[in-house]
A and B are shown apart, each in its own frame.
Chain A
Amino acid sequence: MKSQFNNLKGLAIAFVIIFILASISGSAAQKVPISFDDYHGYTGTVKYIKDVARVYPDITRLIEIGKSNMGRPIYVLVISNMKTGTTIDAHVKLRNMRKEGVKNVTPMKAYQGKPGQWICGSTHGNEHTGTEVCLYIIDKLVSGYTSDTWIKKLIDDKTFYICPVVNPDGVYNSVEKGISQRYNSMMKDNDRDGKVNEDGPDDLNRDGYVTQFRYKDSKGRYVIDDVDPRLMVQLGRNEKTVKPRYSVVIEDKDNDGDGKRGEDPEIGIDINRNFPEGWFKEDGMQGGQGDYPTSSPEAHAVAEFFTNHTNILMAQFYHTSGGFTYRPLGTAPHTKLAPKDVAVFDFIMGKKYLELIGEEIPEAWKTPELIDKFKEELKKTSKNKYAISRGYELPRGWKVSYNETRDRRYSYGLATDWLYMQYGVYSITTELWNPQKDIKGLSKFTGKNARLELARAILKYQDEKFAGKLFIPWKKFKHPELGEGEIGGWIPKYRGNAFPGEPLLGVCETHWQFELFRAGLLPEVVITNAKARVLFNTDNAHDATVLQKGNLVTVKKGKSKGRYKIVEVTATIENTGKLATHIARGAQLAGNREDVVWLIGDRDKVTYLQGTPFQKIGVLEGVMKIPGFSAKSTPPPSSQQRYRYMPQYYPRQMTQRQQPRQQQDMQTGPKREVKWLIAVEGKTPLKIVVTSQKGGTKVKEILIK
């Protein structure tokens, strides 16, 4: 007895040390303290992000993007310098608007004019490790703003949209109520008895958790483990045993007396099967969940948010568990991805991720220029046609959920597939928490009994580090329907989630580093070398004649003095970020557009002689070399034909016919040289505004010299 007491005391001390370490780690500039010694759940998360939004008003905004079926708000915390950034609608003055005065367009927020990154957790309610990672990232960002110049630059120039809890009801039930719930909640009558949600799981012993009930049952599929009698070992289908057989069921009774247990719970649908991409089967029947794509309020809220925040280029949906990342696709073979995007996903992001989680990087990724050689080699060894065409098998830590060897889709209506395919976002799903790796000092198990041995070791680990508090010991209980048995097992919230304290902090730090790396890849569009030069003066705005051949412009002058200054405006538009302003086919997707540059002056004083007020300049490549792709090899996207009716040009006496696009569309790479020829009457401010959906909006005011 005494030794046990000592043991506990030792554990308690260890706990305190972990706690202190955890609090110190970010305390320097931490104005809203946060610790990771237990999960925050929905309530704790909401309190924390509200505190952050209050304490850091200059760099955060809290937005409610929807409500769950049980009425709990879904929040996104925007992290971006609220004093920097601009959007195009702030610069174009509209006039002579319709008298009807419909107010359907809300002014854009400045942070929508910066490249955006979405990070979210807990689409599945019982996978709330992702919520903790989100909170960790929030803490690192806001408290690093004053102390870390790189973080400051990111917050000044980029926008982070962090949604720690996508599924409030699932998290609330899993953490606060102690009932593990992957799906969302819904008011419904599963058993059609006229009563809504009247028979869900029950906390029979009233200990605050819905754990498990085990009872002797000659037909049971479980036996008690020899080594650790707290563990239940599942038998194979026809496995024989001399040990007493048990059945293990969730803690639950028949609440409505219909002879069934748990037949009408609060559980609704899987939000990550409720998105539009691949929701239908090939024959037109339903494949995903819910009545229709985005029928759940959570998927609806996410879909609407992305629709209205077109600046998002990066997205992460944190799930648990496994310790690996799914990049698209799961609903179709990955040949639907553009090869260039595959290269960005695998050679750039995947490589970094494998480094961070300490797994081996495929040889082909290290030398992508030799990819043909790897393809030939794979032809001999692999049965996976997709791997052969790619040149490598995807490693354990970075894969697709599509089953490539059996050529079968993983599922229907996945969020990340939808974001990549329909919104042009580099979206991924990381399955956090690999206890074998993330618990330091755990022995490695291999062979037939590896799973069982790992389960024993994890149970032992929680005895030592958590004084056994994560697992409820089995205690006798008389079930109203099933009779004598015992209640016990893992506390639901710890099951499948990173253990609080050291293991959780480790997981958080790794993925904070990963998101930081991804943020560093975002594009950044800038204007350089903006110049306005007076060519000559004239009395007639349209007097100049211009002849353009390639890059040579010959201007025939009019009179040397007059009311109008004929001005040549030039500038260089450049993407200084690492990735292009769109994914490979991003600009062609409905809802997306090419990068655009405007020259804006006083409308009554400026006449455009050459170059339209706004020009489409295609997609600006990034400065990073994408293995296998040079900037030149990417053809510029063809201009979209999304006009319903032909746009009307009002007739000017133009010296040259106006074109909506100029020579710029012949230019490729990360730079565009742009040029206008205008006639200016009197004095006017002039400014160039470049606006890229995912590369940011920038303004440069220019003086006429």
Chain B
Amino acid sequence: MKSRTNLKYMIVFGLAFTMLISFGRTLHAQKKLQKSPGGYHGELDFPISWGRYYSYAEWTKIMHDIQKKYSHLSDIESIGKSRMGRDQYLITITAKSTGKHEDKPAMWVDGAIHGNEVNGISCSLYLMWYLLTRYDYDQYVYNLVNNCTFYILPGLNVDANASFVEFPNTAHNPREPFRPEDNDGDGLYDEDRTEDVDGDGELSTMYIEDSNGEYKLSADKRRFVRLTNMEEDVLRFRRIGQEGYDNDGDGMINEDDIGGPDPNRNYPSGWNLQAGNPYPMSEPCTRNTYEFMLKHPNIFAGFHYHNIGRLIMFVSPPRATSTQRQTAEQRLKEQERFNQYLQELRKTNKYAQAFDIQVRPGYEEDMNAQAKIVTMGARILKNYRPVTSGGMGQAQASTYDMLGAYAYLIELWGSPVFDADENDDGRVSDEELLKWIDIELTGEGWVMPHKCSHPDLGEIWIGGTRKKHVYRTPPARYIKMEAEKNAMFVMYCASQFPKVEIDEVNVTPETDNLYWIDVAVKNDRIYPTVSDRALKLKRAVKDKITAIFSNNISMVEIPKNLTKIGPQNYSTQSETIGKEGAEFRLKGKQTLHFCILVQMDGSQGWVEFNVKSQHGGKDKRRVNIKLSD
């Protein structure tokens, strides 16, 4: 009998088989790789101005044109028609040379589910443009577009989006899809909308002269200001409200504007009748979107753009139902402890985030990954604040709760509250707002008080802010600033999509012609290969490792409960791989060890491991074993 120490092994890694992850072919080197941060990155290859808001016709044309130019990286399709018959165009971005879009983990991005929040369209378009134009120049983008798919639906609620941009409107309307609704309970539907009374193309505020009114003109005649001294002998005004007529003759103005349910209360998870009426997915635009997402199980995470507030609202996993009730004192203590912990964290990283949330058992990894991701979000987006969200029929809630994909609602933009509030009292006074408009917007966005005739009211006055693009959607000059950093965050998340790799393979001789082979499989990204939620929903396909051998090698099946009989190596802590392979789920930043016991006849042979993951791609490694004497 040969003694073990007499044997020497040459382990040859079959280099030819160490493949690039997820696709079975070698990529061409990047053509115009630009390594200098100061160099040209392709922005003039397809120039788009980010200095304005686009109409539906304009932005859908931009999408079609850019797709034509980058047809090797993108496809365009209509996922359905809105209530009023507009196409909902979606662009799919991925390098076709590296595989089909449906075979790669995908990032979902939609904008402007609320008709008036058209800033989401700009941000979605910007991401599309950034990915396509920089592909040839930017290594980071190149890798992302090769390895992931981006499904981008710039405008979700296209009818209201189009109306908002193209017609005079307030900052808040139109917001909902155009399902008729009777807001004032008079039996008529959408019969009393706003109108541009003075025909200047903008909606502002109406006032009427009234000897009992509470307003007067300011000294510079630019503003209507509240009277401080009711005895003052001046021309007085009563505030009527946003511009419009009494269309139905019921004595009220603008009381039944267009639109039905809040589209972001119309999704199934946590839906309720009061907010999301009439029924879940009742609107063509929400239903088409959700149907698309259902049919694309490769969607791993999703972004949903809104305005405003500068928030990163991530869907938190279901909370644990506490069995014992805490007293107010206990709760206070708990809170203190948590605050201390957070302060500790922030000593080394000012962007650090932590959440005082007890999740339901089995959801710890989701909470863990989300906390890490939004910490980076807070860093990339700077003045955005991560908070939890969910439920209530919101789109992002269903993305996570029902599809098992990580989901984020981004509340874009925060001005003027953020910048104009000089005395930092949390609100923007008329004076502060006007100052902000004068300084930041160089006077744009203000309507000087002027007289106008009104068919229902007689002579009235109109003046004040222009409603659109002052409060809710950023003035055009800020579009790019907001879009750029948000694109960075989406790309960062995509860069953290799971990736399974075979890390190392070790062969340890056992007695006679038996060998232990240990294999380590790792995922060095933040996200796990599938979410906890997808596992609970049974929508997830687990990761799988299988082994094949040369003819002279055979596997020695070890009953599961005998795994720990192994020698000094990893196998003591490893799962065995059976004939059918082994199933597992890799968490974020995790390495798992597997082992098999094989018997080799003759002096050389090979073992090949294959790992396959729904979202983490594939990897394989062949190890040649040679007995040298």
Binding site for B on A (CB under 8 A): 88-89, 92-100, 102, 104-105, 276, 279-280, 283-286, 291-295, 303-304, 307, 422, 589-591, 593-594, 596, 598, 600, 603, 608, 612-614, 616, 639-640, 642-645, 647-651, 658, 691, 693, 697
Chain A to chain B contacts (Cβ below 8 Å), 20 pairs: A92-B248, A93-B249, A94-B247, A97-B195, A292-B281, A292-B402, A293-B268, A293-B271, A294-B282, A303-B282, A422-B279, A591-B277, A598-B186, A642-B183, A647-B254, A647-B255, A648-B255, A650-B208, A651-B240, A658-B251
Query: Would you call B346 an interface residue if the criterion is a C-beta within 8 Å of the partner chain's C-beta atoms?
Result: no
B contact residues around A613 at 8 Å (CB): 249-251
Q: Are B279 and A98 in contact (CB under 8 A)?
A: no
Question: Which listed residue (B253, B270, B278, B537) contacts A591, Cβ 8 A?
Answer: B278
5 more A-B residue pairs beyond the given contacts A294-B282, A648-B241, with a C-beta to C-beta distance below 8 A: A89-B188, A104-B180, A307-B278, A593-B185, A639-B185
Query: Would you call B542 an interface residue if the criterion is a C-beta within 8 Å of the partner chain's C-beta atoms?
Result: no
Q: Are B269 and A284 in contact (CB under 8 A)?
A: yes
B contact residues around A651 at 8 Å (CB): 208, 210, 238, 240, 457
Cβ contacts B161-181/A at 8 Å (1 or 0 each): 001000100001000001110
Question: Which listed residue (B172, B253, B258) contacts A648, Cβ 8 A?
Answer: B253
Q: Are B280 and A649 in contact (CB under 8 A)?
A: no
Query: Would you call B189 an interface residue if the criterion is a C-beta within 8 Å of the partner chain's C-beta atoms?
Result: yes
Q: In the docked arrangement, what's the CA distance between A589 and B277, Å? A: 9
Q: Are A96 and B245 in contact (CB under 8 A)?
A: yes
Q: Are B278 and A295 in contact (CB under 8 A)?
A: no
Residue of A98, A303, A589, A643 ringed by the most chain B CB atoms within 10 A: A98
Query: Would you call B103 an interface residue if the criterion is a C-beta within 8 Å of the partner chain's C-beta atoms?
Result: no
Given A613-B251, A648-B254, A100 and B240 touching (CB < 8 A)? no
Interface residues in B, total, Cβ within 8 A: 64
Chain B residue nearest in CB terms to A615: B186
Q: Are B455 and A96 in contact (CB under 8 A)?
A: yes
Question: Which listed residue (B251, B274, B318, B402) contacts A650, Cβ 8 A?
Answer: B251
Query: Would you call B504 an interface residue if the criterion is a C-beta within 8 Å of the partner chain's C-beta atoms?
Result: no
Question: Which listed residue (B179, B240, B268, B273) contacts A292, Cβ 8 A?
Answer: B268
Q: Are B185 and A104 in contact (CB under 8 A)?
A: no
Given A102-B163, A642-B185, A292 and B250 touching (CB < 8 A)? no
A contact residues around B279 at 8 Å (CB): 276, 293-294, 303, 307, 422
Query: Would you call B536 an interface residue if the criterion is a C-beta within 8 Å of the partner chain's C-beta atoms?
Result: yes
Cβ contacts B289-301/A at 8 Å (1 or 0 each): 0100010000000
Q: Which of B187-203 contact A (CB under 8 A)?
A: 187-191, 193-196
Query: Would you call B257 an interface residue if the criterion is a C-beta within 8 Å of the partner chain's C-beta atoms?
Result: yes
B contact residues around A600 at 8 Å (CB): 249
Q: Are A647 and B252 in contact (CB under 8 A)?
A: yes
Q: In the docked arrangement, what's the CA distance between A294 and B252, Å? A: 37
Q: Are A96 and B247 in contact (CB under 8 A)?
A: yes
B contact residues around A99 at 8 Å (CB): 167, 195-196
- B538 nearest CB across to chain A (Å): 10
Q: In the docked arrangement, what's the CA distance between A303 and B287, Å? A: 14
Cβ contacts B464-487/A at 8 Å (1 or 0 each): 000000000000000000000000
Query: Would you call B401 an interface residue if the criterion is a C-beta within 8 Å of the partner chain's C-beta atoms?
Result: yes
Query: Would you call B365 an interface residue if the criterion is a C-beta within 8 Å of the partner chain's C-beta atoms?
Result: no
Q: Are B191 and A92 in contact (CB under 8 A)?
A: yes
A contact residues around B282 at 8 Å (CB): 294, 303-304, 307
Query: Would you call B84 an interface residue if the criterion is a C-beta within 8 Å of the partner chain's C-beta atoms?
Result: yes
Q: In the docked arrangement, what's the CA distance between A108 and B512, Å? A: 88
Query: Would you call B421 an interface residue if the criterion is a C-beta within 8 Å of the partner chain's C-beta atoms?
Result: no
Given A102-B84, A284-B318, A603-B249, A590 and B536 touching (CB < 8 A)? no
Q: Are B208 and A644 in contact (CB under 8 A)?
A: no
Q: Are B83 and A104 in contact (CB under 8 A)?
A: yes
Residue of B189, B251, B269, B271 ringed by the most chain A CB atoms within 10 A: B251
B contact residues around A304 at 8 Å (CB): 282
Q: In the docked arrangement, what's the CA distance between A295 and B172, Å? A: 31
Question: Which listed residue (A97, A422, A593, A648) contacts B187, Cβ 8 A?
Answer: A593
A contact residues around B294 at 8 Å (CB): 291
Q: Are A284 and B251 in contact (CB under 8 A)?
A: no
A contact residues around B537 at 8 Å (CB): 285-286
Q: Are B245 and A285 in contact (CB under 8 A)?
A: no
Given A98-B194, A104-B179, A284-B270, A590 and B280 touching (CB < 8 A)? no
Query: Would you call B510 an interface residue if the criterion is a C-beta within 8 Å of the partner chain's C-beta atoms?
Result: no
Chain A residue nearest in CB terms to B241: A648
Q: Which of B82-106 contact A (CB under 8 A)?
A: 83-84
Given A276-B279, A284-B401, A644-B183, A649 and B84 touching (CB < 8 A)? no
Q: Are A92 and B251 in contact (CB under 8 A)?
A: no
- B256 nearest CB across to chain A (Å): 9
Chain B residue nearest in CB terms to A590: B277
List the 3 closest pairs (A to B, CB-CB), nearest first. Answer: A590-B277, A647-B255, A88-B187
Query: Would you call B184 an interface residue if the criterion is a C-beta within 8 Å of the partner chain's C-beta atoms?
Result: yes
Q: In the docked arrangement, what's the CA distance between A10 and B279, Å? A: 56
Question: Which listed residue (B182, B247, B250) contacts A612, Cβ 8 A?
Answer: B250
Question: Which listed residue (A93, A104, A596, A612) contacts B84, Cβ 8 A?
Answer: A104
Chain A residue nearest in CB terms to B397: A284
B contact residues around A639 at 8 Å (CB): 185
Question: Which listed residue (A96, A276, A612, A697) contacts B251, Cβ 8 A?
Answer: A612
- A114 nearest CB across to chain B (Å): 14
Question: Which listed residue (A283, A422, A643) contacts B184, Cβ 8 A?
Answer: A643
Chain A residue nearest in CB terms to B195: A98
Q: Are B281 and A294 in contact (CB under 8 A)?
A: yes
Query: Would you call B246 an interface residue if the criterion is a C-beta within 8 Å of the partner chain's C-beta atoms?
Result: yes
A contact residues around B455 at 8 Å (CB): 95-96
Q: In the docked arrangement, what's the CA distance between A608 and B246, Å? A: 14
A contact residues around B163 at 8 Å (CB): 100, 102
A contact residues around B196 at 8 Å (CB): 99
Chain A residue nearest in CB terms to B194: A98
Q: Are A589 and B167 in contact (CB under 8 A)?
A: no
Chain B residue nearest in CB terms to A307: B278
Q: Are B255 and A614 in contact (CB under 8 A)?
A: no
Q: Are B245 and A95 in contact (CB under 8 A)?
A: yes
A contact residues around B255 at 8 Å (CB): 643, 647-648
- A112 nearest CB across to chain B (Å): 11
B contact residues around A295 at 8 Å (CB): 281
Chain A residue nearest in CB terms to B268: A292
- A655 nearest CB across to chain B (Å): 15
Question: Which listed residue (B210, B240, B246, B280) contacts A293, Cβ 8 A?
Answer: B280
Residue of B163, B238, B241 ringed by the most chain A CB atoms within 10 A: B241
Query: Would you call B444 an interface residue if the criterion is a C-beta within 8 Å of the partner chain's C-beta atoms?
Result: no
Given A89-B188, A614-B186, A303 and B457 touching (CB < 8 A)? no
Given A104-B178, A104-B258, A292 and B248 touching (CB < 8 A)? no
Query: Would you call B456 an interface residue if the criterion is a C-beta within 8 Å of the partner chain's C-beta atoms?
Result: yes
Residue of B187, B273, B457, B536 ringed by the most chain A CB atoms within 10 A: B187
A contact residues around B238 at 8 Å (CB): 651
Q: In the docked arrangement, what's the CA distance between A546 and B536, Å? A: 68
Q: In the docked arrangement, what's the CA distance between A81 and B349, Å? A: 75
B contact residues around A691 at 8 Å (CB): 187
- B159 nearest CB across to chain A (Å): 8
Q: In the docked arrangement, what's the CA distance between A689 and B204, Å? A: 35
Q: Are A97 and B280 in contact (CB under 8 A)?
A: no
B contact residues around A93 at 8 Å (CB): 249
- B416 nearest CB across to chain A (Å): 20
A contact residues around B210 at 8 Å (CB): 651
Chain A residue nearest in CB terms to B257: A644
Q: In the docked arrangement, what's the CA distance between A598 and B253, Å? A: 17
Chain A residue nearest in CB terms to B360: A283
A contact residues around B189 at 8 Å (CB): 89, 105
Residue of B178, B195, B196, B268 ringed by the most chain A CB atoms within 10 A: B268
Chain A residue nearest in CB terms to B460: A650
- B452 nearest CB across to chain A (Å): 14
Q: Are A593 and B249 in contact (CB under 8 A)?
A: no
Q: Are A616 and B257 in contact (CB under 8 A)?
A: no
Given A102-B178, A613-B249, A92 and B402 touching (CB < 8 A)? no
Q: In the docked arrangement, what's the CA distance between A691 and B246, Å? A: 21
